[in-house]
Structure 1
């Protein structure tokens, strides 16, 4: 085996390319990316500095060259022939491979209402540049979708003095991913900052200067942004006959239904020990899966078993969530100076933790909680609630035992 091709030059694909070299793979590595830039990180797109969108490169051209990674930028994979082990590119060329990694990511979900073409997406560097160059003080921006991306964008725009309204079909924002306690606090903070909310509302139509809600209300809007989530980009895999569901289905080794093809990042739905497949949308997951897939393509037999984790910054508040909180889990609150933690126990075992506080103040606590989760601990709930009970000491005692 001496040829590995990676389709997708985002966080997952790019990290996989470098991880192959770190694993000792000496064959050819080709990285294919559709955007005309060096690979860059997406989280900074929602955090402009001095009004300018930041493109934070994952790596420089020199690093790619030094690692012997052939980066094909500005081209896309048009067709995958799994039998011939070949990928046809949009520039007319074809790439042969021995192993292939699909890191195709996800695409923004599309609105289906009349006038939906007037809504802007918020996914790429170009999207971010368009939104922030158009949005100026005195204008009103309507954000359709009250999830993490929509709420983060609202916070940034309010910081620029721009009027913002969020339209959400659910009865409350942040309902899918964020624990209810912290979702309510973030919602209240947005309201205090002047963000308007239209909850339990669909979109009837988008016209030149307004969004018409399902109840007939015409809400004035100079700019409309669609932030209704993403769908895994499975088109290439599906056309090639690979198994897909809510993502490209893989086993625990991140291998697809074709043993020579792997998948990682937002496009991958990974087999779970208890059955079924799960897709994780986060920056850290994209990196962790990439590194595991790379080691396995290079000959390893690693089972991917990272703990889900994500974060969001809104105004001066930082939220981090480790594990998968569920409303049915036993909840334990720990009050701390500048914030609070919430632990989640399932049958007595610690399975998740979340923290909301000023800035990055609770990052250390969440990291320790994540390590406790990984240890499979069943701690005394009273210890978790006691702010004077040091989590680091608890972790050390578990390791000693």
Structure 2
């Protein structure tokens, strides 16, 4: 059997498999997943804990996609175009897609902490979030803060330990981080910023100042590492992810990579995104490239986070060292944006209850995609209608 083999049955791999069929591919499509569960959505794991299948089991059969759950790939041979599985089976491919995703990062000394990456991880963590439980969370990023919100809503006592001077220091503008900081503090979360961790176990965090804190459960949310082992062993170029070109083709012409595991060019800068939407967008894009229907990749990076009743959405990539502007909105919402030196809109973010800022951020996303040049003062003026501005582009 040959055709297209996809390693990784997450959002990106599944989207690519179905996109191949939707765009007319009639050859074999094999989708290999290490987990035994039917491929599922990962964003809810840290938000609601609910498990939702990406597609039904029948959908794979209907589209003649050979789903191989619980299969572990041991090696890829670029010369013979073979994928080897644990147990000795080998699969031939015409084109190979690596959608291997990422794994939870654990710094040395944190090996005993819980992490969140799979549905099994979520089940263990959520079972610990009970009234009165003392929960320690290392890391003030999205995963850590979403779990902190879940824990407080469950009645647990929560402490978040963050080495940086503020929450979400690498991801969102300070105006947005300040709102989330204040909300977590209001909800009773103990936030320890600029606090380094020496080591941690399942129930203890040792700090650089020599002190220790005891908990019922310790969770590490300190980022993710791209799964590049197969690519490196196979001889592909890897640098903070599997390096790909505009078609998401790797250094081997018949091997592609997409999703959390890949490093690609976004308007002149090499980036690696850990994002549900990027995984979807790239799965669609790489399927077209495999079929020889290359198109420019213009999808704007976009992600969201739900914490308590607040929803944060970000479009584009902020330069946190450059000026960030605010657009006047309602009292319960905040919208910020950034233009580069040529007044090209490059990023926007909004936060508020529910979907209060969704429409604005969606328009900003489209303006960014169209490489709109606009005066920052005009965007900041609430009397300027964003829909009309979009229509004018």
Does the Cα contact within 8 Å between 1:75 and 1:91 map onto a contact in 2? no
Instruction: State yes or no: 1:34 paired with 2:34.
Output: yes
Partner of 2:47: 47
Distance in 2 separating the partners of 1:207 and 1:298: 48
Shift of 1:330: 3.6
1:284 aligns with 2:277: yes
Report the counterpart of residue 4 of structure 1 in structure 2: 4
Q: 1:368 Cα deviation (Å)?
A: 0.6
Tell whether the 8 Å contact from 1:252 to 1:272 is kept in structure 2 after alignment.
no
Aligned residues: 391
Tell me, in whole angstroms, the C-alpha distance in 2 between the residues paired with 1:294 and 1:226.
35
Secondary structure in structure 2 of the residue aligned to 1:15: helix
Distance 1:198 1:273, change over 3 A: closer
SS at match of 2:328: strand
Contact 1:329 1:345 in 2 (8 A): no
Q: Which residue of 2 aligns with 1:17?
A: 17
Measured after TM superposition, the shift of residue 213 of structure 1 is 1.3
**Contact 2:108 2:199 (C-alpha < 8 Å) held by counterparts:** no
- Show the counterpart of 2:101: 105
> Is 1:158 aligned to 2:142, yes or no?
no
Of 186, 192, 202, which residue of structure 2 is paired with 1:198?
A: 192
Q: 2:313 aligns with which of 320, 327, 336?
A: 320
Q: How big is the shift at 1:208?
A: 6.3
Query: Shift of the alpha carbon at 1:272?
Result: 4.4
Q: Secondary structure at the match of 1:172?
A: coil
Deviation by residue 1:180-223 (Cα, 9 ceiling, x = unmatched): 11011111111111111222222233356432211122212110
Tell me which of 202, 214, 228 is aligned to 2:208.
214
Instruction: Look up the SS of the partner of 2:111 in the other structure.
Output: helix
Residue 130, structure 1, aligned to residue 92, structure 2: no
Number of the residue aligned with 2:182: 188
Superposition deviation, residue 281 in structure 1: 1.3
- Unpaired segments ≥5 residues, structure 1: none
Q: Distance in 2 between matches of 1:130 and 1:205?
A: 21
Give, in whole Å, the separation in 2 of the partners of 1:12 and 1:208: 32
SS at match of 1:45: helix
Q: 1:57 aligns with which of 53, 60, 66?
A: 53
Shift, 1:134, TM fit: 2.3
Residue from 239, 248, 252 that aligns with 1:245: 239
Q: Equivalent residue for 1:373?
A: 368
Q: Aligned pair in 2 of structure 1 residues 279, 209: CA closer, same or farther (>3 Å)?
A: closer
2:246–2:296 Cα contact (<8 Å) kept: yes
Quick check: 1:320–1:366 contact (8 Å CA) kept in 2?
Answer: yes
Partners of 2:202 and 2:351 in 1: CA distance: 39
Structure 2 portions without partners, runs of 5+: none
When the two structures are superposed, what TM-score results if normalisation uses the length of structure 1?
A: 0.94
- In structure 2, distance between residues paired with 1:117 and 1:345: 42
Between the aligned partners of 2:281 and 2:392, the Cα distance in structure 1 is 28
Cα deviation for residue 20 of structure 1 reads 0.3
Conserved? CA contact 2:199–2:206, under 8 Å? yes
Shift of residue 263, structure 1, vs aligned partner = 0.3
SS at match of 1:336: coil
Task: Give the Cα separation in 1 of the matches to 2:373 and 2:323.
Answer: 12
In structure 2, relative to structure 1, the CA distance for the partners of 1:386 and 1:285 (3 Å cut) is same
Aligned equivalent of 2:69: 73
Residue 228 (structure 2) aligns with:
234
Report the Cα distance in structure 1 between the residues aligned to 2:210 and 2:68, rounded to whole angstroms: 48
Instruction: Tell me how far apart the structure 2 counterparts of residues 104 and 82 of structure 1 sit (CA, whole Å).
Output: 17
RMSD: 1.5
